[in-house]
Structure 1
Amino acid sequence: MNQKNDISALVDCLIAADSYLGDHRDALTRRIAHIQAMRKRITEGRVDLLDLASGHEHFGLHRTANGWSFREWAPHATAVYLVGDFSEWREDPAYALTRLETGGGQWEIRLPPERLHHGDLFRLRIHWPGGVGDRIPAYARRVVQDPQTLIFNAQVWAPSSPYRWRHAEFTRPDRPPLIYEVHVGMAQEAETIGTWGEFTERVLPRIVLAGYTTIQLMAVQEHPYYGSFGYHVSSFFAASSRFGTPEDLMALIDVAHGQGIAVIMDLVHSHSVSNTVEGLGQFDGTEYQYFHEGSRGHHHAWDSRCFDYGKPEVVHFLLSNCRYWLDAFHVDGFRFDGITSMLYTHHGLERAFTGYGDYFNDAVDEDALAYLALANEVIHRLRPDAITVAEDISGMPGLALPVAAGGVGFDYRFAMGVPDYWIRLTKDIPDEHWPMGHLWHELTNRRQEEKTISYTESHDQALVGDKTLIFRMADAALYGHMSRDDPDLGVDRAMALHKMIRLITLATAGNGYLNFMGNEFGHPEWIDFPREGNQWSCRYARRQWSLVDDPGLKYHLLARFDQRMIALCRQADLLSAPDLSLLWDHDGDKVLAFLRGGWIFVFNFHPQHSFTDYGIPAPDIAYRMVLDTDARPFGGHGRLAPDQVHHTLPDPSNPWGTRLSLYLPSRTGIVLAPRACGQGQGNRI
């Protein structure tokens, strides 16, 4: 089959999966051809893509058998020097780089071993027509900030013995991910910046106990402003030194692997910090080396720079960045941040994305789309077990389809409409008016051919200026009524809905589930990083684990419920079961019931009404109640007998021919397992 026919076959597959794409055949054909053309262009048809993605082994500082080598790409530069401790920060001819005759603007220097030492601080001093400036190397693997002057410098990092991996052969388990999203800096309780080591010792065991299978690390790549949450990256190849050494991060990942937990990281390729010395802005004196020229190169909403994904050198840089984290740190995949901003020249700002025309027009950056496809190809060829997750609010079709099937290659996409819907319900709609049919639609509205990860709230909903679900529902009562012996109607409502919302979101999730650290137990207050406006305080950039550790507080009970919920999900392999089907929804009663993997989930969201002998259509087998959100061990009222067995009754009025007759307390969710699966473990931890 020739290339033209091959592309046509891929487009046919896409349209077969989604007939609405039929009107955009020409655009789909062009995009797939563009991916193939970019691959050929950057590899020149003679270099394997994985080899091309090894630029981090060519550029930057490396210790060699004969000393040191350093290379940098700076096409507009007229002279480049290494300056640092070793040169008294002066331009020493002994540290001048030579421009290579071939290489499109590459500079190189080779030094004997005694010229540089582990721990030396350094920068590049780059000259260009009409100017000169200090720059941290683009491929710097270690960047540190002076605590007094707050100045950033690259650092020679060549410890005498490299980190020795104990679990180098770890393979991510082939199962739907249960993701625990974390920020290491704010993972400790003390009002300070936490470290990789503290996280490994104190927080990782909590994640293991909670039952999550995957850690998603935020803020790994170096960023000059701590309060950016790690999303204004300056040094793409450097693990943030504010949390410790590279070896400390390696140890964190290694220990997690030893516990059977995969580790993925946020990868920020959607934009770059605007800084010039610390970042890539005007690196060689031009604004267009890595970024688009003019207004297109500036993300005005984020105050950052936008990569030019049509430039082979930029694609090479970013592909190498993908491979570097897999090679050097053994991460098990990536959450690609800000995909929407990459995909559209308008960055998705103030766009509703209400129709397919929004995905096929001149505003789509097809270079960015092609880069993402090549990035996924590199990642999955290098690590077939690795996962990639797209954070996209637009709903662009094909993101989570394999490149070989005409897609962009992500394994999963976030169901970002779900947390937004929970905010609308809890913020704007009284409990008694929650629409069950619309709720079901929002929870299950996804592209069936693409895998999705659902969540009730991530770090986004916890940031200052917003509110977590528990804070939105309980508000100030969290400060004074969270003792187990302190009844409060507001807290009671918040806890009941907190459990129900999490359970129904997990049970209806497409192929994965995410939780931000601490939200599982209703962590109070918001996240506010040190900044001038709060006198550089870490008071709200931490996690108060003592709250969940205190058995006398209701936080402890919420955490106990989450642990049981996750355990049941794993026991049933729930997220691998595709047969999600609605059994019953009644808007007036606020009752919703559905079947998945043979398990039945029933929710009564009504704020006041409990129902006796409530009929739910169901297959004709016996069921055991294995989870009850109203159970006393989870802070409920204990209105249901634990471990009760339910038998179906004849009912010719529904397609199953049988029904369950249930007592449904108000604001309660229950899980019924086929009796052989129940094992009499309902509500137990």
Structure 2
Amino acid sequence: MKMASLLLHSRLCVFSAPYVTSSNSPRGKCHEFSVQLPRKTRPMAVRSTAEHSQQQPQQSSEERGTKKKSKGSTSDAEKGIDPVGFLTKLGISHKAFAQFLRERHKAMKDLKDEIFNRHLNLKEMASGFEILGMHRHVEHRVDYMEWAPGARYSAIVGDFNAWSPTENCAREGQFGHDDYGYWFVILEDKLREGEKPDELYFQQYNYVDDYDKGDSGITIEEIYKKANDEYWEPGEDRFIKNRFELPAKLYEQWFGPNSPQTYEELEPIPDAETRYKAWKEQHKDDPPGNLPPLDVIDSGKEYDIYNVIIDPIWREKFAAKRPPIPYWLETRKGRKAWLKKYTPTIPHGSKYRVYFNTPSGPLERIPAWATYVRPDAEGNQAYAIHWEPPPEMAYKWKHSSPNKPKSLRIYECHVGISSSEPKISSFNEFTENVLPHIKNAGYNAIQLIGAVEHKDYFTVGYRVTNLYAVSSRFGTPDDFKRLVDEAHGLGLLVFLDIVHSYSAPDEMVGLALFDGSNDCYFHSGKRGQHKYWGTRMFKYGDPDVLHYLLSNLNWWIVEYHVDGFQFHSLSSMMYTHNGFASFTGDLDEYCNQYVDRDALLYLILANDILHALHPNIITIAEDTSAYPGLCEPTSQGGLGFDYYINLSVAGMWSSLLENTPDQEWSMTKIVSTLVGNKQYADKMLTYAENHNQSISGGKSLAEILFGKVNEQSPDSEGLILRGCSLHRMIRLITFTICGHAFLNFMGNEFGHPERVEFPMSSNNFSFALATRQWELLETGLHQNLFSFEKDMMKLDETERVLSRSFPNIHHVDDSTMVISYIRGPLLFVFNFHPTESHEKYTVGVEEAGEYQLILNTDEKVYGGQGLIDGNYYRQRTISKRADGLRNCLEVPLPNRTAQVYKLKRILRI
């Protein structure tokens, strides 16, 4: 490319690599496959420390995020960083845990120093998908890069070359392999019969940009003659006989007429400053010409011309110069011209695998960075699919992500079981049939489980085999993009349940023994095996594993526009005992020898990078150990999550319904469990039940309450009334008492009467229970329950229940089984007693005034009895102390009912 700055640079005897071709270059000999590391675009991920320091300009610590500080940089305290800040804020004094947090902070600094030896900044650390895997180059080729330090050589094999594992593979000691274990393979597109290769390395037959542009028919010579005549000043370099005039002359002067033509023949070259001074000395007696009087020193930076231009006329002329882009653009050919000249060596939809020759023998694997995979289900051989639809056919986004809401109403769903038919449903069916239902129900976010590729369907998607691929059993990557896009169009955020806490033990489609070594991605020995689940545990202390996992999070946001993640089973990764231990809350349990510090550092990095790159992203922690500081800022010693899940709530409701008679329920236990830790109440996500309650032998609350009740059952009417009443009350109190987020699993909102059971050998691979019975919404109690669900969601939408601060829980009576609390202007009253009703039950309120009943679980439209007379819908306070408050209400309170009142008018006394 002949731009002005480059020519001024080359004019003063600066050697330029493109004028020496390698003997291994694909241009010297036309192969279907060629192997080399491109000199002009060597990926940052595989640069050495020396290369990094020489090739990258110096940056401040602000530019590099949290790059290593110089001696004179500000201290952590001045930057607002306190490794034990959240302990100080909460008034917690624990020397061992505080020391652990300080050591963890120091370890994070050391880790970042190691990262910055290989990456420019943390953004680049999380952008490995831009260079790893398979990508179309702007020129006529496809580049493939993989990390496999245990391999001797690597190749791409597929249906495009008859699965040949040895043809032009990348071998150890050649350009296809670097010191970090990255392998690079170039797959050249094939010239059609009668076509000739490109004359210049920068003439692009581009598959992606300007894809509808054909060949203009203008030759290179004509374009450069036009540039020489119209653009270049007298004395400036010209393009003559397929070469740049001045660089060619300088090259011959320096190396002679029989100059070396390959890198192997080229002797060591002096540095740029030495060469320039020698040239200047040689030409000191030359008469003045038309060249600008300036000095050029090659400092290794992007722009080398930095000295003062002495002549004001030339300074003005030089400043006005612009690269001859219009001429250069005429050399660019679009996809129409590309299709005429080339056939792709790996067409869209091609099947491929990566081939490794290892000390233990040859291996074929599904690439770790593959974006579309067909696992070896049903006995078929696994393979990756090159997903590169023509630009005119690729999915085009229509909607932007909705704004981040102040409260989350999350609808958790599994695409495969979202149909009422006994089959695996698809992304497209989910988009058409389920998304409108979610919007109608009043939710503002969906959370997808099992959407990432997994070989075994019965694992629900938690034994992930390919972290960069959507599950092929549900559809294509473009189908998933459409799902996300349509959800955004409906105002729904899209979260992924991401599994970075362990990985499938499979070898062909998974990462186990990926390159023949046992510790490529995972720990070796016992630490690399989950104690009970048979899965593999990631080696979080390895920078390349961090590169893989952090890039994976960024990939789902950049490629698929997801809005957040629920990090699955953090306790499995944060402890070497995988979370299978009794936690009493003693802080010693969070800093002892069983804590995996590397995993904690990964979680801190993940939250730091995600929130820096994508400010609206939401991260949710699923942790059974209640690790301190989950949702505290990382600068204050926390892990940086936006929400954490109160996992004890769902277990409490299941235990009460199955093991405790209704009249023995403890209101104190219910409230204490629902509230959890008050200090983190604003970060809590709650649910009455999620998918865990109805998978692997568990039961949904509806199945426990009335799953086996029918018209022939004794007292069926009373049992159904009890079940529906408790179902509404459990969901309402869980939804409103605490936290800024609520989650519901698909179908539970209308009381789905059956559990979920995926097809497996124990049930004869039946799909009977791997469905959702949407037809139940049309009539009966399920329609009534869904009506209540919609009004409960609407209550938050109109009254902002979840976004309000912690409620004032002023009445908890175990004898009457009544709970009452105030959240904002709303009063919530629950009577869990199975038989005792109250005509006038006294509960305290903070404000004197008129209160209106705005939600009543006993309404007939919800399947209740409608026992409250309409005259009681407006209540006026009484000046009488109750529950420690100056005013009170006397409300009608039938058994197993709940009511929500809103303060409509304040009375001043």
TM-score, normalization: structure 1? 0.94
Letter in 2 for 1:593: S
**Alignment match, 2:868:** 640
Distance in 1 (CA, whole Å) between partners of 2:580 and 2:563 is: 31
1:389 aligns with 2:616: no
Distance in 2 (CA, whole Å) between partners of 1:574 and 1:629 is: 17
Distance in 2 (CA, whole Å) between partners of 1:306 and 1:614 is: 56
Distance in 1 (CA, whole Å) between partners of 2:541 and 2:607 is: 17
Residues 49-198 of structure 1 mapped to structure 2, 5 A cutoff: 49-66=122-139, 67-96=141-170, 100-113=176-189, 114-145=344-375, 149-161=379-391, 162-167=394-399, 169-198=400-429
Superposed CA RMSD in Å reads 2.0
Cα pair 2:818 2:830 within 8 Å, conserved: yes
Distance in 1 (CA, whole Å) between partners of 2:155 and 2:549 is: 25
**Alignment match, 2:760:** 531
Q: 1:487 to 1:472 in 2, by over 3 A?
A: closer
**Alignment match, 2:90:** 18
Task: Give the C-alpha shift of residue 99 in structure 1.
Answer: 5.8
Distance in 1 (CA, whole Å) between partners of 2:389 and 2:177 is: 33
Distance in 1 (CA, whole Å) between partners of 2:150 and 2:678 is: 46
**Alignment match, 2:859:** 631
1:394-444 superposed Cα distances (whole Å, 9 cap, x missing partner): 000111112233211110000111111112211221110111112111111
Distance in 1 (CA, whole Å) between partners of 2:448 and 2:84 is: 38
**Alignment match, 1:583:** 810
Letter in 2 for 1:505: T
Cα pair 2:851 2:904 within 8 Å, conserved: yes
Distance in 2 (CA, whole Å) between partners of 1:591 and 1:148 is: 55
Distance in 2 (CA, whole Å) between partners of 1:655 and 1:584 is: 9
1:617-645 superposed Cα distances (whole Å, 9 cap, x missing partner): 11212111011111100011111135810
**Alignment match, 2:301:** none
How many aligned residue pairs are there?
A: 671
Higher Cα Rg, which structure? 2
**Alignment match, 1:44:** 117
Task: Give the C-alpha shift of residue 479 in structure 1.
Answer: 8.6
Task: Give the C-alpha shift of residue 568 in structure 1.
Answer: 0.4
**Alignment match, 1:232:** 463
Distance in 2 (CA, whole Å) between partners of 1:182 and 1:346 is: 30
- Larger % of strand: which? 1
Identify unmatched segments of 5+ residues in structure 2: 1-72, 190-343
Distance in 1 (CA, whole Å) between partners of 2:763 and 2:117 is: 52
Residues 75-474 of structure 1 mapped to structure 2, 5 A cutoff: 75-96=149-170, 100-113=176-189, 114-145=344-375, 149-161=379-391, 162-167=394-399, 169-449=400-680, 451-474=683-706
Task: Give the C-alpha shift of residue 656 in structure 1.
Answer: 2.5
SS at match of 1:10: coil
Q: 1:605 to 1:148 in 2, by over 3 A?
A: closer
Letter in 2 for 1:33: K
Distance in 2 (CA, whole Å) between partners of 1:523 and 1:654 is: 38
Q: 1:27 aligns with which of 93, 100, 115?
A: 100
**Alignment match, 2:887:** 658
**Alignment match, 2:823:** 596
Q: 1:580 to 1:53 in 2, by over 3 A?
A: same
1:522-556 superposed Cα distances (whole Å, 9 cap, x missing partner): 101111111122221111111110011x22x2111
1:316-343 superposed Cα distances (whole Å, 9 cap, x missing partner): 1000001100000000010011111111
Letter in 1 for 2:94: G
Q: 1:359 to 1:480 in 2, by over 3 A?
A: farther
Distance in 1 (CA, whole Å) between partners of 2:645 and 2:443 is: 17
Distance in 1 (CA, whole Å) between partners of 2:129 and 2:470 is: 14
Task: Give the C-alpha shift of residue 466 in structure 1.
Answer: 1.0
**Alignment match, 1:683:** none
Cα pair 1:620 1:656 within 8 Å, conserved: no
Cα pair 1:478 1:524 within 8 Å, conserved: no
Cα pair 1:82 1:96 within 8 Å, conserved: no
Letter in 1 for 2:182: Q
Q: Between the two proteins, what is the percent identity of the paired residues?
A: 36
Task: Give the C-alpha shift of residue 480 in structure 1.
Answer: 6.7
Cα pair 2:852 2:901 within 8 Å, conserved: yes
Q: 1:491 to 1:99 in 2, by over 3 A?
A: farther
Cα pair 1:264 1:331 within 8 Å, conserved: yes
Letter in 2 for 1:503: L
Cα pair 1:152 1:278 within 8 Å, conserved: yes
Q: 1:655 to 1:340 in 2, by over 3 A?
A: same
Distance in 2 (CA, whole Å) between partners of 1:362 and 1:464 is: 32
Distance in 2 (CA, whole Å) between partners of 1:480 and 1:68 is: 67
Q: 1:653 to 1:668 in 2, by over 3 A?
A: closer
Distance in 2 (CA, whole Å) between partners of 1:443 and 1:148 is: 44
Distance in 2 (CA, whole Å) between partners of 1:32 and 1:323 is: 24
Distance in 2 (CA, whole Å) between partners of 1:354 and 1:398 is: 13
Distance in 2 (CA, whole Å) between partners of 1:364 and 1:7 is: 28
Task: Give the C-alpha shift of residue 473 in structure 1.
Answer: 2.1
Identify unmatched segments of 5+ residues in structure 1: 678-685
1:587-618 superposed Cα distances (whole Å, 9 cap, x missing partner): 11100000001200000000001011110011
Task: Give the C-alpha shift of residue 495 in structure 1.
Answer: 0.8
Letter in 2 for 1:30: E
Question: Greater CA deviation, 104-113 or 141-150?
Answer: 141-150
Cα pair 1:507 1:574 within 8 Å, conserved: yes
Distance in 1 (CA, whole Å) between partners of 2:345 and 2:355 is: 17
Q: 1:265 to 1:21 in 2, by over 3 A?
A: farther
**Alignment match, 1:615:** 842
Q: 1:547 to 1:101 in 2, by over 3 A?
A: closer
1:362-392 superposed Cα distances (whole Å, 9 cap, x missing partner): 1111110010111111211121111000000
Q: 1:481 to 1:159 in 2, by over 3 A?
A: farther
Question: Greater CA deviation, 374-383 or 42-51?
Answer: 42-51
Distance in 2 (CA, whole Å) between partners of 1:605 and 1:35 is: 50
Distance in 2 (CA, whole Å) between partners of 1:37 and 1:174 is: 37
1:270-305 superposed Cα distances (whole Å, 9 cap, x missing partner): 011000101000001011010001010011311110
SS at match of 1:243: coil
